[in-house]
Structure 1
Amino acid sequence: MSELLIRGARKAYGATLALRRGDLHLLPGEVHVLIGSNGSGKSTLCKIVAGSVKPDAGEVLLDGKPVTIAGPQAARALGIGIFYQELSLAARRTVAENIYLPALPVKSGVFVDRATLEEKARRVIADFADVAGEGFSADTPVETLRADQRQLVEIMKALATEAPVLIFDEPTSALDRAQVDRFFEILRRLKGEGRAIIFISHRMDEIFAIGDRVTVIRDGETVATSRIAETDQATIIHQMVGEREELATPSVAPAVHATSRATVLSVQDFSGPGFRNVGFEVAKGEILGFGGLHGQGQSSVMRAIFGALPHQAGSITLNGKAHAMRSPREAIAAGCAYVSGDRRRDGILQGRPLLENLTPIHFLRNRLMLARPSRLRERALKPLQALKTKFQALEQPINSLSGGNQQKIVIARWLIDRPDVLLLDDPTKGIDLAAKTDLFALIRELAAEGMGIVLYSSEDAELLNNADRILVFNSGSVTRELTGADRTRYNLYHAAYEAA
């Protein structure tokens, strides 16, 4: 049995303060829920305990004794195991290998002891055998598994450590009801054995079903700890929001949606991987926000509209004309643009000059085979200047720019030839405050000029400050629409957590 105490944990990444003051007291034989909005500091606090993040200040005590957790191996040696929100599996290895990857059994000091490995793995898998689904076994390669099955492997990996202190960072996000119920049965058993468990979840029903105590983190600070039996959902949400329930005041007020404006984008009965029965309209000059907890289908809907993901049902109408959107090429030709927050995966051409990164959409939309460099440079400079992009020359490689300026390049490429609809999929992810300010100033200008904009952001303030309406997503569907004075931080949280 282990008791864990964290006092005054602090972590900054440059000018970004991820954790201002993290406090947590974890007792043996309890499930301690950690809750807070996206970016509040929950995961950072857990990574400090797990040794994958080194704090700038604060102390960690295990059974009353100060400890220094120099890395993940040191954490394991101290009896701390973690399930990471971002899956850390080796895709080409088997389920058994992944479960015991940190400590594979060997024979002769060199070779993996396959018989021992598979026997140990089968004992862990047995707890989930009847809910894991077809094709799940110790020797199955992880790359062939479904998302829920991969998440089960990550859970098994944490359970296999047999650590006295276990941390689960949103472990149920991809699981079905039967899998969640089985996981909770196991947690209750471990709790009865005296294990100390930190459990992060955005689902209120799960929090009240499994938790003993709950600690709320807001804006990087621990603000409250309560016994689950002595609190309720409304109190927890108020603690998460604090006093800021009113609509945050933007630096420039968002445009007021006018119902008389022409509809530029209409999506009806839209269903596909990760979303179902989604419907909405976007008027010219409107910024429509997608809100809700992270990973509830917002990005999938955008990518499907853009043709980067398939959709099985529903219709897409752009400027009054129906489109199948079978590919990004078709979406671009129809006047649709898509900007991803994952610029390394979906945006920049690594190592190539700025000019090459700026002009591929211009070539595609205008079906160009050749173009004058001077003419291209002239067209490329205008959106760069509008975004206040900092660079030396269009010939320099994009990797030489800061993250914020790289994202400005990705946005600028769509503005050389103005689209009718701009889909922004968490566009400010990982960029600094100054770059965010420049981006949103331009986004509001584009809306004022009549462009239809759909904005998903994992930061609630960005939605509240900039969106005319907010559609709250949960489990792939729209559960509530917030308009006018209803666009408050409290209502946004309440809609997301109530549905969850």
Structure 2
Amino acid sequence: MTKLKLSGVSKAYGATLALRRGDLELDTGEVHVLIGANGSGKSTLCKIVAGSVRPDAGDVLLDGRAVTVSGPRAAQALGIGIFYQELSLADHRSVAENICLPDLPKQSGFFIDRAALRQKAERYIALFEAVAGAELRADTNVDDLRADQRQLVEIMKALATEAPVLIFDEPTSALDRAQVDRFFEILRGLRNDGRSIVFISHRMDEIFAIGDRVTVIRDGETIGTMAIAETTPEAVIHMMVGEQEELAAPQQAAPPSHAASTDAALTVENLTGAGFRDVSFTVRRGEILGLGGLHGQGQSALLKALFGAPPPSAGEARIARERLRTDSPRSAIAQGVAYVSGDRSRDGVITGRPILENVTPIHALRNRLVLARPGRLAEKALPALKALNTKFAGLSHSIGSLSGGNQQKIVIARWLIDKPDILLLDDPTKGIDLSAKTDLFALIRRLAEEGLAIVLYSSEDAELLNNADRILVFNGGAVSRELSGAERTRYNLYQAAYEAA
């Protein structure tokens, strides 16, 4: 019997279409898996069900009745609970308060019933007692817990809603094997009790261990649904890839045409840090090395560690034959390393300041400028801005007067006034338009042809497949496979990203 049905659901954010056509049928007493690449629309679909995102079109039926999920409270009233991929815990509150947050027990209609709160929380803590660790207690503050324990608290919070429909958006990403096994035991018990569960995972072994059916979403559209018992991991990946098994759509960019030097520009040996482990590779002068895999598998953390923000905990990196000092970004900059983040609002632009001040701080740092005339700085900045086809009215205008794409061009241009030896690109095109992306990748290839060594992480597979000479696929914080030449296909990229880590 169908418990929940979504038909033709869509959602756009301005010009960005997050979900073109989302269809899903969830049966009573079923674990239904959603799978798709980064940005395919899985999380958007689930947030629509949970009321945190309102659809632009489409129908949502619950028990055969059309419903409007106007917000999280409405979802709760309809019997829908969700585990969010981005944890929604109150850091400075206790474990018990977080678990019971959706429905705090009250006394006298106003005051929190502390005894009932603790009793309810301990019931869910006990479910994970053997795998959670002694520190996870009802009265422990959430900010004193490890990452895996915090994730368990978020899971308990979803379970405590006692909702007939439960949605789990990548709930196992920070859990160890024993914790995952225990969680799956609990989910099987809920399924046997008639609960309906939507489960998003990027691990193929988990999908086949817990799912009854799997629905594949690709490029914002539901492609199809299969019974887990009647399919294979290879068939699921083929459905995710579609007909584009080779290089991605040619309109994005032309494949690299340059020949890399044999000289090693950057050598990384057994580098380990927060979010990644035992990573080794070499980048040659004139080479674009891609970092692929699902979002959050250690790619960004690796690039930040090479830039000293924060430093790695073990291993070594060398520029040519000189040891790379990763104690701070200042040290990395002094050795010719540049880092560009896709999160320009946090790691890029200097808000409220003129374009000139945003484009020249690295030049000032590298040349130890204490005082400088704006005219001289403008002479240095303009060629770099022109190389990126940056559109702006004047260097004295605020950075906030520019579009997102042009703001990102400013962030990139600041590194090109005094060209670095190593360019680390951390999802640099996130949130910018196609025209700006085209300009950026044309420049990246030109810089590579001039001998720059480039390490590129992108959450968009097409950008890697069309621009990187080689791709290191990350899975679980480590490199699971290297793809080069004819091996650079969507199928191989997805297979390495989704296989058991």
- Report the TM-score range of the alignment, normalised by the length of the smaller protein: over 0.9
Partner residue, 1:200: 200
| Residues 2 and 164 in structure 1, CA contact (< 8 A), matched pair in contact too | no
Partner residue, 2:256: 254
Match for 1:61: what amino acid?
L
Match for 1:128: what amino acid?
F
Partner residue, 2:298: 297
Q: Secondary structure at the match of 1:131?
A: helix
> Where in structure 2 are there 5+ consecutive unaligned residues?
none
Partner residue, 1:233: 233
Query: Does the alignment pair 1:154 with 2:154?
Result: yes
1:117 Cα deviation after fit = 1.7
Partner residue, 2:472: 471
Alpha-carbon distance between aligned partners in 1 of 2:94 and 2:406, rounded to the nearest angstrom: 40
Return the TM-score normalized by structure 2: 0.96
Alpha-carbon distance between aligned partners in 2 of 1:357 and 1:105, rounded to the nearest angstrom: 51
Segment drifting more, 488-497 vs 107-116: 107-116
1:257 Cα deviation after fit = 4.2
Q: Secondary structure at the match of 2:415?
A: helix
Per-residue Cα deviation, 1:256-284 (whole angstroms, up to 9, x for no partner):
443x5321111112122222221111111
**RMSD of aligned C-alpha atoms?**
1.5
1:121 Cα deviation after fit = 1.2
Query: Does the alignment pair 1:284 with 2:291?
Result: no
Match for 1:150: what amino acid?
R
Match for 2:117: what amino acid?
L
Alpha-carbon distance between aligned partners in 2 of 1:169 and 1:58, rounded to the nearest angstrom: 21
Alpha-carbon distance between aligned partners in 2 of 1:94 and 1:391, rounded to the nearest angstrom: 50
Q: Secondary structure at the match of 1:87?
A: coil
Match for 1:95: what amino acid?
V
Per-residue Cα deviation, 1:288-334 (whole angstroms, up to 9, x for no partner):
00011211111111111111123222211113211231111110000
Partner residue, 1:186: 186
Match for 2:364: what amino acid?
F
Per-residue Cα deviation, 1:441-489 (whole angstroms, up to 9, x for no partner):
1111111111110000111101001000001111121121111111111
Match for 2:242: what amino acid?
G
Partner residue, 2:353: 352
Return the TM-score normalized by structure 1: 0.97
Alpha-carbon distance between aligned partners in 2 of 1:326 and 1:97, rounded to the nearest angstrom: 39
Segment drifting more, 97-106 vs 162-171: 97-106
Distance 1:113 1:396, change over 3 A: farther
Alpha-carbon distance between aligned partners in 2 of 1:202 and 1:50, rounded to the nearest angstrom: 21
1:366 Cα deviation after fit = 1.1
Partner residue, 2:223: 223
Alignment of structure 1 residues 444-455 onto 2, 5 Å = 444-455=445-456
Alignment of structure 1 residues 25-104 onto 2, 5 Å = 25-104=25-104
1:383 Cα deviation after fit = 1.8
Alpha-carbon distance between aligned partners in 2 of 1:407 and 1:329, rounded to the nearest angstrom: 21
Partner residue, 2:380: 379
Return structure 1 stretches of 4+ with deviation > 4 angstroms. Answer: none
| Residues 33 and 200 in structure 1, CA contact (< 8 A), matched pair in contact too | yes
Q: Secondary structure at the match of 2:131?
A: coil
Distance 1:116 1:499, change over 3 A: closer
Q: Secondary structure at the match of 2:59?
A: strand
Distance 1:95 1:402, change over 3 A: farther
Alpha-carbon distance between aligned partners in 1 of 2:88 and 2:392, rounded to the nearest angstrom: 35
Partner residue, 1:24: 24
Partner residue, 2:413: 412
Partner residue, 1:437: 438
| Residues 79 and 165 in structure 1, CA contact (< 8 A), matched pair in contact too | yes
Alpha-carbon distance between aligned partners in 2 of 1:483 and 1:166, rounded to the nearest angstrom: 41
Alpha-carbon distance between aligned partners in 1 of 2:76 and 2:313, rounded to the nearest angstrom: 45
Alpha-carbon distance between aligned partners in 1 of 2:91 and 2:397, rounded to the nearest angstrom: 36
Q: Secondary structure at the match of 2:340?
A: strand
